[in-house]
Amino acid sequence: MGKRCLVTGSSGLIGSEVSGFFHEQGFEIHGIDNNQRAVFFGPAGDTRWNQRRLVESLPNFCHHELDVRDRKGILDLVRTIRPDVVIHAAAQPSHDRAAAIPFDDFDTNAVGTLNLLEAARQSCPQSPFIHMSTNKVYGDRPNAISLKELETRWDYDDPAFTEGIPESFPIDQSQHSLFGASKVAADVLVQEYGRYFNMPTCCLRGGCLTGPNHSGVELHGFLSYLVKCNLEQKEYTLYGYKGKQVRDNIHAEDVARFMLEFYRHPRCAEVYNLGGGKANACSVLESFHLTESLTGIQQRYHYVDQNRIGDHICYYSDLTKMKSHYPGWAISKGLSRIIEEIVQSWRERMKGH
């Protein structure tokens, strides 16, 4: 019997990538997903196509139609499977949506994480527990860093942040959005189970996680949604900061590769800023130009002079700690390659409809 990997949110971007990647490494994959993304975001957020793809293409993949908020269901499943690694990628992932559904948001992000942690503590406490956190746990505090305005982007004007935001950056006394707050609760719980119960846990505070299997929508999945708008010649809405706000983009495969490294060499209660780093950072305006150069289609957009609450003006991850702990890992896919793959994926999906 091969090793067992439990993946929550298995039909989503990271979950599906991780399922395929760990399956290639010889793992039996147990995926938990109930297509809640379609409930949160409507038909455009539907991930059943990804679920079908996994079931059809991975012989050792087993789908479990289960909600992470179902405490008994989660406890029973983890007890039955006793996975060798738990990868928790399920979430309500949108700032804007969270304000409209605060109980659903907190129950999914915070309580759902607690359900999984307690299930793991009871049934497989030695198995690495990898949690997809978010850089939004830092709230809007990164906006207090001294910035400089360049022609197409904002950038840090403080030498302490030349390589980006480190894990030592404070997470409280700032505005997070309700989504950010529920993810802070989950993040701290994962750390606490690691320290208090000596479990091998880590929080991966993701930047913009992306890739060809992303069902990008306006409220979540900026690069995927932007490419979709470009190909459909649909107007993209730019919210504040002159469109010069900066994000670091990381391909889902590079996320999965780091998770495998952590599984092989686990540590206790660790936190990592998992993003594309400075090299994969771009502003929204710059991503327009990159996409246009690949598709040959001019990006249509209109500008709203009001930024989203708790939004970062400039954010990219300092990868120094990750690379020092796991020298075998590095970013393998650059920004142009990432956008190329997203363009190709959307074109294929549009043909299929």
Per residue, the 3-state secondary structure of 115-131, as one string, reads HHHHHHHHHCCCCCEEE
pLDDT value of position 286? 98
Which pair of tokens denotes residue 188? 């701290």
Domain range summary for the chain, segments of one domain joined by +: 4-352
List Cα–Cα distances, 192 to 136, 149, 187, 188, in angstroms: 19, 39, 9, 6
- Helix 284-295, helix 335-352: angle, nearest 10: 60
Mean of pLDDT values over 329-350: 95
Q: What are 109-134's pLDDT values in tens digits?
A: 999 999 999 999 999 999 999 999 99
Whether the Cβ atoms of residue 262 and residue 269 lie closer than 8 Å to each other: no
Report the distance separating Cα 241 and Cα 314, nearest Å. 10
| Distance between CA atoms of residues 337 and 341, nearest Å | 6
Q: Which tens digit of pLDDT belongs to each residue from 239-283?
A: 999 999 999 999 999 999 999 999 999 999 999 999 999 999 999
* Sheet of strand 246-251: strand arrangement: 208-210, 246-251, 281-283
Q: For the segment 300-323, what is each residue's pLDDT rounded down to a tens digit?
A: 999 999 988 768 999 999 999 999
C-alpha span between 74 and 48 (Å, rounded): 21
The two tokens of residue 161 are 């942040």
The per-residue pLDDT for 179 is 94
pLDDT of amino acid 274: 96
The pairing of strands 201-206 and 129-134 is: parallel
- What are the pLDDT digits (tens) for 130-174? 999 999 999 999 999 999 999 999 999 999 999 999 999 999 999
Query: 217 — alpha (psi -120 to 50), left (phi > 0) or beta?
Result: beta
CATH architecture label of 4-352:
3-Layer(aba) Sandwich (3.40)
Quote the pLDDT of residue 96: 83
Structure pTM? 0.94
pLDDT number for residue 1: 56
What confidence tens digit (pLDDT) does each residue in 5-54 have?
Answer: 999 999 999 999 999 999 999 999 999 999 998 888 888 888 998 999 99
Report how far apart, in Å, the C-alpha atoms of 202 and of each of 117, 126, 180, 244, 280 are: 12, 13, 18, 32, 23
Q: pLDDT for 175-188, tens place per residue?
A: 999 999 999 999 99
Question: 55 is written with which tokens?
Answer: 């079931």
